């Protein structure tokens, strides 16, 4: 069965610092991979997705993620965070059908 692990429940970084949020998945094939962001009192919004091709994918607001098959990872990165990036970030995996498996989420706090 598929699973997604986000090992860091909470991450605090200073504004302007770089960011990496970790995601590891368990799936025997090549999955479809997603990062979603949830701002307070809102639904999840897609940041970026990976289906195939270039393992580094660009998303909105300067976010990117790298698919490393050998490590079963899809970490999210940003070069310089802004206070408005404070939110909960979810990694998700799909087999390409209806079924999506979500990680438990990482709550990001950006401090001045």
Q: Contacts with another protein in 28-47 (CB under 8 A)?
A: 32, 34, 36, 41-46
Stretch that binds another protein, among 12-20, 57-65, 68-76, 93-101 (CB under 8 A): 93-101
Q: Pick from 62, 64, 66: which is nearest to 53 by CA?
A: 66
97 binds another protein (CB under 8 A): yes
103 binds another protein (CB under 8 A): yes
CA gap 15, 83 in Å, rounded: 6
In angstroms, what is the minimal distance from the CB of 7 to another protein? Answer: 13
In angstroms, what is the minimal distance from the CB of 16 to another protein? Answer: 29
| CA distance to 26, 27, 35, per residue, from 61 (Å) | 28, 29, 13
Per-residue H/E/C for 30-96? CCEEEEEEECCCCCEEEEEEECCCCCEEECHHHCEEEEEHHHCEEEEEECCCCHHHCEEEEEEEECC
Binding another protein (rule: CB under 8 A), the pick from 17, 56, 60, 104 is: 104
Residues contributing to the site for another protein (CB under 8 A)? 4, 9, 32, 34, 36, 41-46, 49, 51, 90, 94, 96-100, 102-105
């Amino acid at each position: 069965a598929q699973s997604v692990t986000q090992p860091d429940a909470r991450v605090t970084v200073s504004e302007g610092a770089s960011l990496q949020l970790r995601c590891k998945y368990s799936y025997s094939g090549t999955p479809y991979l997603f990062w979603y962001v949830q701002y307070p009192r809102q639904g999840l919004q897609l940041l970026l997705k990976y289906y195939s091709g270039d393992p580094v994918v660009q998303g909105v607001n300067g976010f990117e993620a790298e698919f490393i098959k050998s490590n079963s990872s899809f970490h999210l990165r940003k070069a310089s965070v802004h206070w408005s990036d404070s939110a909960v970030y979810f990694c998700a995996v799909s087999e390409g059908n209806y079924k999506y498996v979500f990680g438990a989420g990482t709550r990001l706090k950006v401090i001045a």
